[in-house]
Structure 1
Amino acid sequence: MPSRTTRPITLAGPDAAAFANAQLSSDVLALATGRWQWSGWLDPKGRVRALLQVARVADDRFVIVPRGGDGERLANDLKRFVFRSKVTITLHDARFIADGDACDDMHAIEGNDASLVLGEGDASIHIGMRDDGDAWIARHIEKGFAWLPDEALDALLPPALSMERLNAVSFNKGCFPGQEIAARLHFLGGHKRHLRTVRPDVALTHGQSLRIDGRDVGITLMHNESVERPISLVVLEDATAQSETLEIDGVRLHVLSTFAA
């Protein structure tokens, strides 16, 4: 099976850090050179347009790695907000996502071939032209590192993707799109859907709606069939996921873990 691909976006220039910090949900100004962080781009209603990994590869240059979605659309939408900022936005060709060797957690290494390694401590992901298949998917499902199918874009709020757990949302850095809704959920709570790993009896598909008696109760984000006992990463409403085994649309799901918001 070929590797999954993404189209990285580079922000470069004297205002690159300030521009990224104003648009993205994480504290980009606190990101040191040679490091990466989780982030997101939200719409004004707080819904996640894009889940991102952001690497600061130089003081004035950032590489944004979209985890799902249309990189070209994302780059074009970001360009609409440049105004007078001294920042250039460059969209790159599709790059493969592949497994990498162990690398210090949150370290980012840019190669001479424009590849990018994002460290996870016990492993890493390699973003470049190396097509090594999707062995990393099972690990990211177990860690709750989501990849968004098209059906999940502009549909989920940060708690459903465990973005605070990943430090992908900061409420101390100033304004960003969707901040008011995200902050309300953070301080008042009340969100009813959360990220979970499940073991289904039959294969699920990315973007598959999970329904009970015709009512939408969640969505499948990722599914891994390459292991002996397949697992999936899903978003499920809390009321539905009270028991360890669920019957959803004739499919039995065994809940393995639930991730905090």
Structure 2
Amino acid sequence: MPTSNLAQAVFIEGPDAVAFAHSQFTSQVSALPNGQWQFSSWLDAQGRVRAVFHLARLAEERLLLLLRGGDAASFAEALQRFVFRSRVRLSVANTSTLGSGAALPMHIVDADGDVIRLGCGSHSLQFGTDVVDDDAWRLAQLRAGWPWLPADALNESLPPALSLHRLGGIALDKGCYPGQEIVARLHYRGGNKRHLHRVELSRAVAEGSMLRRGDREFVRLLNVISNEERIEALAVITDDIASSIMQSSENTSDNGVVVQLLDTWSD
């Protein structure tokens, strides 16, 4: 995980903010009420996930995208190319930090002055210039299967591999958006062979690492957290390799990292 909790966030504002976001992102943005947030993502034309984020509707014409990995300035620059004639303004929050707050119901947004709180059930995710930087929220969200994408894992996975359907971040009943045809084909015709897992590692490994076994992909690690009890990570693993790990027949990478499955999430 990043050593600093400097938030990577983008504001989308203007009369066309919601319509523009609805046409670009995978969630049902137009149905999001003021004062709530949803998981969402932005895909490339091949359906690969460019970014995952909390999408909060702060007002009728104001959205907040709190990125779960990646760089906000690069994201905003890439997104700006699709604005064309839409009446929207993109701006990057350069000085806000992330921290943990008191419990708040899932998907609720509470804005108090400079601080914006996103309800995550057992806790809230606080965002703002006056927020105390802490990591207390990270382990709870890892164990809930909320993916965080390190730089090495961007533009790589399809939405089912990150369990974005389960999180409500994929809408199948809306108009076109980048990668929509791939998403629909995978959902209705099948073919996805990679899923999200929570794993325990025998030793610390850098987040975003690709563990290999016998010169083939073994486990793609996303976020990795070391705590007092164990080293845990979210990982994308093909179904056949996950089956072998579960049976303990092939659970060690070429560089000696032993992997144990703790949780598995379907599409």
TM-score when normalising by structure 1:
0.95
SS, match of residue 181 in structure 1: helix
Structure 2 distance, partners of 1:133, 1:252, is: 29
Give the structure 2 partner of residue 252 of structure 1. 258
Structure 1 distance, partners of 2:101, 2:4, is: 13
Partner AA of 1:248 in structure 2: S
Q: Is the 8 A contact 1:102 1:121 kept in 2?
A: yes
**Identity, % of aligned positions:** 40
Give the structure 2 partner of residue 217 of structure 1. 218
How far did 1:2 drift?
Answer: 5.4
Q: Is the 8 A contact 1:3 1:131 kept in 2?
A: no
SS, match of residue 143 in structure 2: helix
The more displaced of 4-13 and 242-251 is 242-251
Question: Considering only aligned residues, what root-mean-square deviation do their CA atoms show, in Å?
Answer: 1.4
Give the structure 2 partner of residue 132 of structure 1. 133
Q: Is the 8 A contact 1:3 1:134 kept in 2?
A: no
Give the structure 1 partner of residue 98 of structure 2. 97
Give the structure 2 partner of residue 54 of structure 1. 55
Structure 2 distance, partners of 1:35, 1:25, is: 17
Structure 2 distance, partners of 1:19, 1:54, is: 13
Q: Is the 8 A contact 2:8 2:69 kept in 1?
A: no
SS, match of residue 18 in structure 1: helix
Structure 1 distance, partners of 2:17, 2:155, is: 25
Report 1:78-93 matches (<5 A).
78-93=79-94
Structure 1 distance, partners of 2:228, 2:234, is: 14
The more displaced of 7-16 and 222-231 is 222-231
How far did 1:3 drift?
Answer: 4.3
Give the structure 2 partner of residue 162 of structure 1. 163
Structure 2 distance, partners of 1:218, 1:201, is: 14
Structure 1 distance, partners of 2:228, 2:36, is: 31
Give the structure 2 partner of residue 175 of structure 1. 176
Q: Is the 8 A contact 1:108 1:119 kept in 2?
A: yes
Partner AA of 1:72 in structure 2: A
**Which 5+ residue runs of structure 1 have no aligned equivalent?**
none
Q: Is the 8 A contact 1:192 1:238 kept in 2?
A: yes
The more displaced of 185-194 and 43-52 is 185-194
Give the structure 1 partner of residue 113 of structure 2. 112
1:200 aligns with 2:201: yes
The more displaced of 76-85 and 244-253 is 244-253
Partner AA of 1:201 in structure 2: S
Q: Is the 8 A contact 1:6 1:67 kept in 2?
A: no
SS, match of residue 56 in structure 2: strand
Structure 2 distance, partners of 1:182, 1:116, is: 32
Structure 2 distance, partners of 1:166, 1:254, is: 24
Structure 2 distance, partners of 1:134, 1:95, is: 15
SS, match of residue 74 in structure 1: helix
Q: Is the 8 A contact 1:14 1:60 kept in 2?
A: yes
TM-score when normalising by structure 2:
0.93
**Which 5+ residue runs of structure 2 have no aligned equivalent?**
none
Partner AA of 1:256 in structure 2: L
Partner AA of 2:258 in structure 1: R
Task: Pick closer, same or farther for the CA change 1:3–1:227 going to 2, 3 Å.
Answer: farther
Structure 1 distance, partners of 2:260, 2:155, is: 27
> Could you report, residue by residue, the CA deviation over 1:162-196 in whole angstroms, capped at 9, with x for unpaired residues?
00001111011110000001111111112111100
Give the structure 2 partner of residue 149 of structure 1. 150
Equivalenced residue count is 260
Structure 2 distance, partners of 1:257, 1:199, is: 10
How far did 1:94 drift?
Answer: 4.2
Which portions of structure 1, spanning 4 or more consecutive aligned residues, are displaced by more than 6 angstroms? none
Task: Pick closer, same or farther for the CA change 1:50–1:149 going to 2, 3 Å.
Answer: same
